[in-house]
Amino acid sequence: MFDRMKEDIQAIMARDPAAKSSLEILLCYPSLHAVWAHRLASFFWHRRLKLVGRWISQAARWLTGIEIHPGATLGRRFFIDHGMGVVIGESAVVGDDVTLYHGVTLGGVAPSVDSDSQRGTKRHPTLLDGVIVGSGAQILGPVTVGQCARVGANAVVVSDVECDTTVVGIPAKVARKEAREQAQFMPYAQGAHISDPVLRELAATRQAMLKLQQRVESLETERQGGLPGDTQGERLTLAEEVRSEDSQKAANG
């Protein structure tokens, strides 16, 4: 039991850049309290003491702002960052290493319509291992969100999401599909492609420069075409000058 508790704390430390110490996590992270309360609630729920389980879950909700139904199945190293307003329904299934942010719902599509026929059915989502769900996202119905998929903040997901895919918007649509090996955890689910803002800016500058080079090249070609005797090799074009300066800079580091 203590190993699992230690693992829960380590999972938060690994996934929240704001976390400073294990003691802070123990005292100040509602995710930890809600998940531990859920383990207790689930214990009673599955031993025919459903009301006790339900009551523990409700008490945890008062204390943490996170509502997890005792019938929900949670995997290991589950982390709900900030937590307030998260609702996890009775038949929801959450895999290992899943991260949710505040305001996320793993809910049914229309629980109030013909409720009797929905009792005891699978009506909530399944999140496979490594999924990250952004703040305010709503995942509705018995859909499956594939391994390492990411759901954008405020998205509404009503159909299955493939593994390693980022979906955004209402209804959620694919925004990006990344290779499995790139899909390691990034705090706040930011793209694994370039996470450093300075590198991102450099890459954008480089792209703009390449476009300019191409434009200058095509202008030079047009100009050469219009000047008889002005052949390639007789003079260095402006484009070549720009490119050679660029490669010199790259060589100098």
Ligand X SMILES: CC(C)(COP(=O)(O)OP(=O)(O)OC[C@H]1O[C@@H](n2cnc3c(N)ncnc32)[C@H](O)[C@@H]1OP(=O)(O)O)[C@@H](O)C(=O)NCCC(=O)NCCS
* Binding region for ligand X (CB under 6 A): 82, 101, 134-135, 150, 152-154, 166, 168-169, 175-176, 188-191
Measured from the CB atom, is 61 or 176 closer to ligand X? 176
Is the distance from CB of 66 to CB of 82 less than 8 angstroms?
no
Is the distance from CB of 45 to CB of 70 less than 8 angstroms?
yes
How far does Cα 23 stand from its chain's mean position? Answer: 26
Q: How far is the CB of 13 from ligand X (least distance, A)?
A: 17
Q: How far is the CB of 190 from ligand X (least distance, A)?
A: 5
Beta-bridge partners for 177:
165
Measured from the CB atom, is 167 or 239 closer to ligand X? 167
Strands 165-168 and 173-177: antiparallel
State the Cα–Cα distance between residues 128 and 95, nearest whole angstrom.
Answer: 5
Measured from the CB atom, is 53 or 134 closer to ligand X? 134
Q: How far is the CB of 193 from ligand X (least distance, A)?
A: 7
Q: How far is the CB of 57 from ligand X (least distance, A)?
A: 24
Q: How far is the CB of 162 from ligand X (least distance, A)?
A: 15
State the Cα–Cα distance between residues 178 and 209, nearest whole angstrom.
Answer: 26
**Which tokens in the block code for residue 130?**
């490594």
Measured from the CB atom, is 41 or 131 closer to ligand X? 131
Helix axes 197-226, 238-251, angle to 10 degrees: 150
Measured from the CB atom, is 57 or 166 closer to ligand X? 166
Measured from the CB atom, is 198 or 251 closer to ligand X? 198
Query: 3-state DSSP call for residue 92?
Result: coil
| Torsion angle defined by CA atoms of residues 207, 164, 89 and 15, in that order, rounded to the nearest 10 degrees | -70
Measured from the CB atom, is 81 or 90 closer to ligand X? 81
**Which tokens in the block code for residue 154?**
């405020």
Q: How far is the CB of 189 from ligand X (least distance, A)?
A: 4
End-to-end CA distance of the chain: 53
CB atoms under 10 Å from CB of 108, counted, come to: 22
Q: How far is the CB of 156 from ligand X (least distance, A)?
A: 10
